[in-house]
Amino acid sequence: MTRWEPGAAERLQEAALDLFATRGFEQTTATEIAQAVGLTERTFFRHFSDKREVLFHGQHLFTQAFLDGVQAAPPDASPMEIVASALRSATSSFPDERRPHSRSRQAVIDQNPALQERERHKLASLAAAIADALRARGVDDLAATLAAESGVTVFKVAFIRWLREDERRSLTDLAEDVLRELLALARDPS
């Protein structure tokens, strides 16, 4: 019989981040993560397929937040306006309280090439999903690809800024600024 562990995934994630940060990602095992919060290795693997997965849990919700924003844009919105709507939707799921958690997570990723690879893969899949959603709205193939890639670039750049120690603006405001800068660059003939 499987015992229900309330909040087990979240507790495992927090414990994993602590251990990865203090001991290193490579040096930490799934068993140790589970034991740190009084759970078993079996419980760990009920929630995550591997140790790496702990850091990328919720990818589906992350992508969905962008797609919800694509849906929410008015019918006559331009591709870049749809992308702006997707960014507002996705960034609103990163409230400022989450900043310390996101910082710890990013510090672990920045120290491990395999995790960076996973991060790049995640962002590539996200761009493909947004492009599909734009095409489904009738945006032409090339415009959909370029708008989606630009949206992911904006998210990526805004996210790095949001994690800076001295940064106080919200991720939503930062993404808006970065998108505005991208549009200004494209509009500047010289």
Near its own copies in 47-76, by CB under 8 A: 76
Measured CA distances, 118 to 56, 121, 123 (Å): 8, 5, 9
Stretch that binds its own copies, among 40-48, 86-94, 96-104, 181-189 (CB under 8 A): 181-189
Residue 138 CB, nearest approach to its own copies (Å): 14
Q: Which is nearer to its own copies, 29 or 170 (CB)?
A: 170
Q: Does 128 contact its own copies by CB under 8 A?
A: no
Determine which residue in the list 132, 153, 167, 169 makes contact with its own copies, applying CB under 8 A: 153
Q: For residue 173, state whether it binds its own copies (rule: CB under 8 A).
A: no
Those residues whose C-beta lies under 8 Å from the C-beta of residue 154, and which sit 6 or more positions away, are: 83, 87, 175, 178, 179, 182
Residue 73 CA to residue 88 CA, distance in Å, equals: 11
String marking each residue 2-21 x if it binds its own copies according to CB under 8 A: --------------------
Residue 160's alpha-carbon distances to 22, 45, 81, 156, in angstroms, are 22, 30, 22, 6
Beta carbon nearer to its own copies, 1 or 142: 142
Q: Report the alpha-carbon distance of residue 83 to residue 25 in Å, rounded.
A: 34
Number of residues that bind its own copies (CB under 8 A): 31
Kindly give the interhelix angle for 59-72 and 113-136, rounded to the nearest 10 degrees. 30
Contact region with its own copies (CB under 8 A), list: 9-17, 39-47, 51-59, 177-185: 177-185
Residue 61 or 160 having the CB closest to its own copies:
160
Residues in Cβ contact with 82 at an 8 Å cutoff, skipping those fewer than 6 apart = 69, 70, 73, 134, 137, 139, 147
Shortest Å distance, C-beta 98 to its own copies: 23
Whole-number Å distance between alpha carbons of 19 and 37: 11
Q: Which residues bind its own copies (CB under 8 A)?
A: 76-81, 117, 120-121, 124, 142-143, 145-147, 149-150, 153-154, 156-157, 178, 181-183, 185-190
